């Protein structure tokens, strides 16, 4: 009987000790799920990297014209570095102009008899996903598309994306391109995971948020055969487009479509004093349904708004304990939490990457991150660029300089 009582007491002790963990887990798991009808998806806070929805986020998939986010980031970078101006002009090659006759390749019409401004090509690549425009801009930046592809790969590695598959600058299958326009096999196609795309978008919008001034435009005006022609944006979530919903003011970012990629979309919009990014990969539905990626995006953003709230979870100078150390928070901290969630149930750890908020313990400043949010955070890191070490050149003393002068003088005399 005594042994039986001991066993009962042991079981009760275990239950009592694990009850706080269990209650927090239950609270997190009560958040409803959603079927976005896509092969993969992601939703995260662009400012903090906090993930609110994740489905097959590490699965590498064909991305189509989502590729252009990287391409146009590097074009923007070149413009900001004054390597050329947006008023410089480029003449397309015959192959680039001929591509625009194929309506299936999402291009504005180009002619080898006309020079186009960098600004017009930049807008065309973002707003209507012009493949030839992206190719022309890549040539402008690096001299050739193959050199530009190597720059794209290098940039992604610096961002911690080590296994990206990038073969061309537009996102088409290599079979649609000429040999001098791609790396890899003739049927290769660019592939990234939703997490990879999330990392890319955060880098791009952190550094150049003004890109949204272009991606938010619902119309493109472009010179064609001596007149200005107007094209509709391929982003049908923008205000005035057929998939726009009031209260969800999308202002970017990029569609992606190929036979292998299906219909995909990276969207972004301001929401509750921050910015949300949505990623839908290979939306599922009838082939004739040309809006399915946008309906999947609508489901995803409604899921975020209906089930989460963005609220202050820590105040400036508030103290938190991490690994038995007490830290003072350096600023107010806002997070997305399930509605009716008790923020006192949040716990914190030191951040393992470049995300998080700063806190101080005995003059030691670290980044902390919430440890028990529903879906965690992006695996984000700032650019990992190797520092160039310049060797110091030994300076000559004044005596060495005098000796060298007379040596040279005598050598010339004798």
Would residue 240 be called left, alpha or beta, if left means φ above 0 and alpha means ψ between -120 and 50 degrees?
left
The Cα–Cα gap between 269 and 235 comes to 13
Which of 54, 65, 106, 170 is flagged as catalytic? 65
Query: Is 157 in the active site?
Result: no
Three-class DSSP category at 271:
strand
Rounded to the nearest 10 degrees, how much is the dihedral formed by the CA atoms of 167, 199, 341, 34?
-10
Q: What does the longest C-alpha to C-alpha distance in the chain come to? A: 115
254 labelled ligand-binding: yes
The Cα–Cα gap between 298 and 301 comes to 5
Query: Is 218 in the active site?
Result: no
Which of 106, 129, 132, 193 is flagged as catalytic? 129
DSSP for 165-216? B---SS---GGGS-GGG--S-TT---EE-HHHHHHHHHHHHHH-GGGHHHHT
Beta bridge pairs of residue 256: 264
The CA R_g of the chain, rounded to the nearest whole Å, is 27
Query: Is 68 in the active site?
Result: yes
DSSP state of 158: H
The tokens describing 43, both together, are: 């939703």
The Cα–Cα gap between 93 and 296 comes to 38
DSSP for 332-343? -EEEEEETT--G
Q: Which helix (H) or strand (E) holds 314?
A: strand 308-314
Which residues have CB under 8 Å from 360's CB, separation 6+? 327, 328, 330, 366
Calculate the alpha carbon distances from 107 to 28, 130, 134, 245, 400 in Å: 46, 4, 10, 27, 67
Which of 39, 54, 68, 292 is flagged as catalytic? 68
- Residue ranges of the binding site for substrate: 254
Catalogue the active-site residues.
65, 68, 129
Annotated binding site: 254
């Amino acid at each position: 009987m005594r042994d039986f009582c001991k066993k009962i007491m042991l079981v009760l002790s275990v239950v009592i000790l694990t009850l706080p963990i269990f209650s927090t887990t239950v609270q997190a798991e009560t958040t409803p799920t959603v079927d976005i009808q896509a092969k993969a998806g992601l939703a995260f806070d662009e400012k903090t990297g906090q993930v609110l929805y994740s489905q097959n986020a590490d699965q590498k998939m064909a991305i189509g014209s989502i590729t252009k986010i990287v391409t146009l980031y590097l074009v923007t970078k070149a413009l900001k570095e004054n390597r050329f101006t947006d008023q410089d002009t480029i003449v397309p090659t015959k192959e680039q102009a001929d591509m625009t006759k194929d309506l299936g390749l999402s291009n504005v019409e180009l002619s080898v008899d006309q020079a186009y401004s960098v600004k017009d090509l930049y807008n065309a690549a973002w707003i209507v996903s012009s493949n030839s425009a992206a190719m022309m801009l890549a040539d402008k930046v690096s001299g050739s598309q193959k050199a530009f592809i190597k720059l794209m790969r290098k940039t992604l590695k610096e961002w911690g994306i080590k296994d990206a598959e990038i073969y061309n600058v537009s996102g088409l299958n290599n079979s649609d391109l000429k040999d001098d326009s791609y790396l890899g096999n003739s049927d290769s196609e660019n592939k990234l995971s939703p997490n990879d795309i999330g990392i890319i978008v955060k880098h791009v919008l952190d550094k150049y948020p003004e890109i949204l001034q272009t991606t938010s435009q619902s119309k493109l005006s472009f010179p064609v055969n001596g007149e200005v022609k107007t094209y509709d944006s391929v982003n049908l979530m923008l205000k005035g487009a057929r998939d726009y919903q009031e209260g969800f003011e999308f202002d970017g970012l990029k569609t992606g479509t190929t036979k292998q990629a299906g219909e995909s979309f990276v969207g972004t919009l301001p929401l509750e004093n921050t910015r949300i990014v949505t990623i839908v990969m290979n939306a599922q539905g009838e082939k004739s349904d040309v809006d399915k990626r946008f309906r999947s995006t609508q489901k995803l953003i409604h899921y975020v708004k209906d089930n989460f709230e963005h609220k202050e979870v820590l105040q400036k100078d508030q103290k938190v304990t991490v690994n038995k150390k007490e830290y003072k928070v350096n600023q107010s901290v806002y997070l997305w939490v399930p509605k009716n969630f008790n923020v006192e149930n949040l716990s914190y750890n030191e951040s393992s990457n470049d995300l998080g908020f700063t806190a101080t313990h005995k003059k030691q400043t670290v980044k902390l991150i919430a440890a028990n949010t529903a879906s965690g955070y992006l695996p984000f890191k700032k650019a990992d660029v190797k520092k160039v070490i310049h060797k110091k050149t030994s300076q000559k003393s004044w005596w060495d300089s005098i000796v060298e002068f007379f040596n040279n003088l005598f050598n010339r005399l004798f």
